[in-house]
Every structure is written in C-alpha cells, then in structure tokens.
Amino acid sequence: MTSNNENKLLTKSDINKVFWRSFTVNASFNYERQMNQGAQYALSPILRKLYPDKKELGEALQRHAEFFNTTPMLCPFIFGITAAMEEENATQEDFDPNTINSVKAGPDGPAGRHRRLVFWGTLRPLAGGIACFAGTYGQPVCTVPRSCCCSTSPNVAGALLRLHWGYNSGMKALNRFEELGLTEKIFTAASIIGLLVIGGMSASMVSINPVIAIGSGDSAIKLIDVINGIMPKMLSLFTTLGVYRLLKKGTKPNTILLGIIVVSVLLTAIGVF
C-alpha cells in the first residue's frame, strides 16, 4: 500500500457525485438490510470507475448489499472512508476487501449517537423554536427560511466537508497504518466494533416482553424479570438467532416478517404479551 498520487484513481468530481447521491440514502429503506440499497446507489459512480470489469463491479456491488445503517448525517463521512478503501482495493493486490464493510459499520457507534445529538437533538429543535417564535409574531413566511438556515444548511454544507474529509483522512490513515504495521490490528478492531454495533442492535431493537407473572398480588414475580436476571435480553437474543437461522436456511424475509406478525398476534390474544 502506497501513498503515491499516481495510484489515485478518483477525482474531486467523482467524490462530489457521491455527495449528491448520499441525500437519497433513506429513499429505499427496508427492514431486512435497511440503508444498503441507498449505500449502493451513492457509491455506484466510484465503483463503476474503479472496477471497469463487470465481474469485479458485481463483487463490489454485492459487498455493499450487506446490512448498513447509521444516522444519515454521518453517511457522507462513512462513504468518504469507504471510497478511499475501495480505491486501495482496486490498486493494491494484497488488500483484503472484507475489511471494507467492517470499517463501514464501525463508525455507527459513539460517532453516530453524537451526530444524532448535534443535528436532531440540538440544531433541529433550535430551528423549530426560532420558527415558532417568528410565527407567533406574525411572520409565518420567515419560519421556513429560518428553519432551513439553522438546521438544513449546516447539515448540507457539513455533508460535503465530511465526505471529502472521510476520503482524504481515510487514505492518509490507511497509508500510515501500513507504515506502522498496524493495518491488520486496526481492521481486526474495526471488525470487532462493527460486530458489537450490529449485535447490540438485537438488544436495543428487538423487544420481547411477556406479561406472564409467577404468583399473585404484590408478591408476583414477572417472568421477564427472572429471564433477564439470568441473562439480560435473552429472549431478544434467541429471537434474533432464530431469525438468522431461518435466513441461512433460505427462508424469504417477507415470510419471516409475516410469521412474526402472526405469532405476535396469537401470543397477545392468549395473554402472553
């Protein structure tokens, strides 16, 4: 892996194409792999340039068909890093393409939460407050421009900067890691973080709370408390593993979703939930 400019295949114009397409990352959100199709669409211009061979292009598109989810404001930064890694993969024979998705999934941890806090928890309420204040004083026409200036404009302007920053810092970081002999360790750590982020979603997004209780009155003990006392979110883990096993056996996602709905309704009807 080298840092020579002659190995750079992507131009500023190519990166800008990813910027414009990144706004549609949520347009095809799905419950199976969430933002994966949006990521494919945003990255496809650079993938077509980096991989003129149809077989290699197909492998790259398949690589980005994997599960992907983050706060939309963080997408440009992640896409920038991804573009840098895809460029390295296209120019270096010894590059491991399996690390690309690991690194792509990693930043959705603490960084994703901070982005949500800044944009959704700070700028957006601030913009809404200013708009409401303007509206109460008889200036409804000013509410939209002021809201855009306080919330939308910083996001759009920052997205372009984050995209180029991710691409440039990604290239420099990869070359520096190679010089220090840390590439394998960094990517292994990124893989672990990515798995932790995705694995933690089974605990935070899968909710299984049966209302069955042992005993009666004030002394009754809820079954879910007993199960969580053995291992927190055990039912969520087993449910996730069960769905994963069905997917590995070739069961269609829509069939699994329909089955979950039917089972949930039946268990609720008999008083389990």
194-225 pLDDT, tens digit per residue, is 677 667 777 777 888 888 888 777 777 888 88
Going by C-alpha positions, the residue among 223, 199, 179 that lies closest to residue 1 is: 179
Q: Residue 99 in contact with residue 174, Cβ under 8 Å?
A: no
SS3 of 213, please? strand
pLDDT digits (tens, 9 = 90+) for 58-91: 999 998 888 888 777 778 888 888 898 899 888 8
Only one residue has tokens 């509206």, namely 135
Residue 71 near residue 116, CB atoms below 8 Å: yes
The secondary structure of residue 70, as a DSSP letter, is -
Q: What is the pLDDT of residue 2?
A: 44
Supply the pLDDT for residue 260. Answer: 92
Q: Give every residue of the chain whose pLDDT is below 70, as ranges.
A: 1-7, 106-155, 157, 171-179, 182-184, 186-187, 190-191, 193-194, 197-198
Report the pLDDT value the prediction gives residue 1, as an integer from 0 to 100: 44
What is the C-alpha to C-alpha distance for residues 187 and 243, in angstroms, rounded to an integer? 28
Provide the b/e sequence for 17-52 (b: ≥16 CB within 10 Å).
bbbebbeebeeeeeeeebbbbbbbbbbbbbbebbbe
C-beta of residue 29 within 8 angstroms of C-beta of residue 35:
yes
Question: What's the pTM?
Answer: 0.56
